[in-house]
A and B are shown apart, each in its own frame.
Chain A
């Protein structure tokens, strides 16, 4: 029996890849810069060569069952990267098929929220749950819903775009072109935008005024030091996030909503207002029943682990048996 898989996390800047066993132990891992490869064919040549090397050093090719890949804007149903706004490779790229040709192993492709949700269910905070939501909150805001124990992908594989649900009908313009999207308030850029609005609204002194390039991590540190405007920034963020999540929960009645990604590291500054607003806005049948959790997996491992779980979902195939 083949008892290992390869999990690959293609990030905008860095590609991480690992050999993982069936209990989620990372046997070996390595990484390289995604940005070095503006051409996807060159990128895949390097990736496949590196993966095969890692595999040979860790159990051998014949022990590898399959490969799972986590990549932004990926569609599990088609195995393609589809019009990724943040990657250099444009258009529709049949990544799963291209890798299968090169590696001779079955390859599955999923987007970040899907892989993360699979990882959380197999090895993390969602272990044992059938109906739950995983939120990825960083530069973007994505989600994956599990229904009846399985991923809900939607009819074309695009489900989960909670970041682009409208929470302010006359609100901010989102990068996607729509107006008032949740992401435009709660993801990286949205939080900075809220901070800038607050700074412009008043003359109140704040440590945020002294920084040239704000980021959410800094704002959270200012909160720890008692900066009132920084605290207000996360309070507003949490208020809107809680409302968006409440709408999600009223429709899907999940056992838990699991927050992952960089932004939830702001901790209580974000989570307390989020929970308050969630309880205020969620339907009363569901009130007090939905757990809002922060992922208990390591940030550095979450995506590769999820990708490894995805690998187990495809039918085994080998060119060489």
Chain B
């Protein structure tokens, strides 16, 4: 029986384009990072080979493999309960992939897997804006969608089959916009980058009002937000409408969950600035009176580029320690 404590973990953030690996200590200091292109590996087995080699190398160069306690991975469409990537819409690897088990076999350490919103919530709970909170909701705008993760009684609430948190697919407009998921009126179709752009296009088509948006080459939510900063009326109206939907969606979640805070993550700063006021106004209008004025709407505390590896590192600490090599 060894008396030493392993004091480091590996956080892995797998995104569609690239994968980031970091060695992280107990206090959330990132000691070293490495990254490589995810899209170079259409075959998941080749990807796993490279990933395990890189993990071993970065561990050896930073305190040694024997000081690594475990590995946490953030990947889209992952299920923490099964340790699998399940039918990821945007990844080259199709079907159900038992990623956690595959990596554990290769490197001989315990591996935990979580999806974006779950990982973001963990990172914010351990190292960020949700530190010390028992009941809160993280809303993540990353990866073009709208995910959320609920903390209940101090624990992440994953639901009975690990699918909880699909706030982006709650219906806010009966018979509204067509969503990629096949249904109509989902919150996601109004408040993500794509939704904001569509709202802007609809508004420009519906009126002849002059607007700086009309002369933009590519319409993005950030570009529209920049128009707002220069006082463009129509652009302000776009964000007012977006905020109205987001405030409604958040109010419905808050009425059901009574959270201490709702934390918005992965929103560009410009967009957050334009969105927060109309969102709060709508939130106050729609939320149940007992909860009104008691829920903080705040921006995430971690940097966008660190959040996922830190969250993955926090996840690594939640699995039981295991080593093939003792």
Indicate if the CB atoms of A148 and B157 lie closer than 8 Å.
Answer: yes
Alpha-carbon distance between A244 and B302 when the two chains are bound, in angstroms: 34
Alpha-carbon distance between A160 and B252 when the two chains are bound, in angstroms: 10
Indicate if the CB atoms of B258 and A253 lie closer than 8 Å.
Answer: no
- The reply on B21 being an interface residue by CB < 8 A is no
Residues of B near A254 (CB, < 8 A) are: 159-160
- The reply on A44 being an interface residue by CB < 8 A is no
Indicate if the CB atoms of A150 and B248 lie closer than 8 Å.
Answer: no
Alpha-carbon distance between A167 and B286 when the two chains are bound, in angstroms: 10
Alpha-carbon distance between A179 and B282 when the two chains are bound, in angstroms: 12
Alpha-carbon distance between A84 and B8 when the two chains are bound, in angstroms: 52
Residues of A near B252 (CB, < 8 A) are: 165-166, 247
Query: Which residue of chain A is the closest to B153 with respect to CB atoms?
Result: A150
> B150, B153, B173, B253 — which one has the most chain A CB atoms within 10 A of its CB?
B153
Which residue from A82, A131, A159, A166 sits with its C-beta under 8 Å from B257? A159
| Chain B 59-98 interface residues, beta-carbon cutoff 8 Å to A | none
Indicate if the CB atoms of A252 and B164 lie closer than 8 Å.
Answer: yes
Given that A152-B153, A155-B134, A161-B255 are known contacts, is A253 also in contact with B183, CB under 8 Å in the complex?
no
- The reply on A78 being an interface residue by CB < 8 A is no
Alpha-carbon distance between A101 and B288 when the two chains are bound, in angstroms: 33
Alpha-carbon distance between A160 and B162 when the two chains are bound, in angstroms: 21
Alpha-carbon distance between A147 and B135 when the two chains are bound, in angstroms: 12
Indicate if the CB atoms of B170 and A250 lie closer than 8 Å.
Answer: yes
Which residue from A153, A158, A252 sits with its C-beta under 8 Å from B150? A252
Residues of A near B251 (CB, < 8 A) are: 165-166
- The reply on B290 being an interface residue by CB < 8 A is yes
> B134, B163, B181 — which one has the most chain A CB atoms within 10 A of its CB?
B163
Indicate if the CB atoms of A155 and B259 lie closer than 8 Å.
Answer: yes
Residues of B near A289 (CB, < 8 A) are: 160-161
Given that A131-B160, A158-B290, A169-B248 are known contacts, is A251 also in contact with B167, CB under 8 Å in the complex?
yes
Residues of A near B290 (CB, < 8 A) are: 82, 156, 158, 161
Indicate if the CB atoms of B171 and A281 lie closer than 8 Å.
Answer: yes
Indicate if the CB atoms of B160 and A253 lie closer than 8 Å.
Answer: yes
How near does chain A come to B279, taking the closest CB pair, in angstroms?
A: 14
Alpha-carbon distance between A164 and B290 when the two chains are bound, in angstroms: 11
Query: Which residue of chain B is the closest to A284 with respect to CB atoms?
Result: B181
Alpha-carbon distance between A184 and B286 when the two chains are bound, in angstroms: 14
| Chain B 116-137 interface residues, beta-carbon cutoff 8 Å to A | 133-136
Residues of A near B182 (CB, < 8 A) are: 284
Given that A150-B153, A284-B181 are known contacts, is A161 also in contact with B161, CB under 8 Å in the complex?
no
How near does chain B come to A178, taking the closest CB pair, in angstroms?
A: 6
Indicate if the CB atoms of B256 and A248 lie closer than 8 Å.
Answer: yes
Residues of B near A152 (CB, < 8 A) are: 135, 152-153, 157, 257
Indicate if the CB atoms of B157 and A143 lie closer than 8 Å.
Answer: no
- The reply on A259 being an interface residue by CB < 8 A is no
Alpha-carbon distance between A179 and B181 when the two chains are bound, in angstroms: 28
- The reply on B165 being an interface residue by CB < 8 A is yes
Alpha-carbon distance between A4 and B253 when the two chains are bound, in angstroms: 38
- The reply on B223 being an interface residue by CB < 8 A is no
- The reply on A29 being an interface residue by CB < 8 A is no
> B148, B161, B288 — which one has the most chain A CB atoms within 10 A of its CB?
B288
Indicate if the CB atoms of A251 and B256 lie closer than 8 Å.
Answer: yes
Residues of A near B163 (CB, < 8 A) are: 253, 283, 285-286
How near does chain A come to B31, taking the closest CB pair, in angstroms?
A: 33
Alpha-carbon distance between A289 and B164 when the two chains are bound, in angstroms: 12
Indicate if the CB atoms of A156 and B258 lie closer than 8 Å.
Answer: yes
Alpha-carbon distance between A161 and B252 when the two chains are bound, in angstroms: 9
Q: Can you name 27 A-B residue pairings with CB atoms under 8 Å? A: A82-B290, A145-B257, A150-B152, A152-B135, A153-B258, A155-B135, A158-B290, A158-B291, A159-B256, A159-B258, A161-B258, A161-B288, A164-B288, A165-B252, A166-B248, A169-B286, A176-B288, A178-B289, A250-B169, A251-B167, A252-B157, A253-B159, A253-B160, A281-B183, A283-B169, A284-B182, A286-B159
Question: Which residues of A come within 8 Å of B, CB atoms?
Answer: 82, 129-132, 143, 145, 147-148, 150, 152-162, 164-169, 176-179, 243, 246-248, 250-255, 280-281, 283-286, 289
| Sample of 10 further A-B pairs with CB below 8 A, known A160-B256, A246-B171, A247-B171 | A152-B153, A160-B258, A161-B256, A166-B248, A169-B248, A246-B170, A251-B164, A254-B160, A283-B181, A284-B183
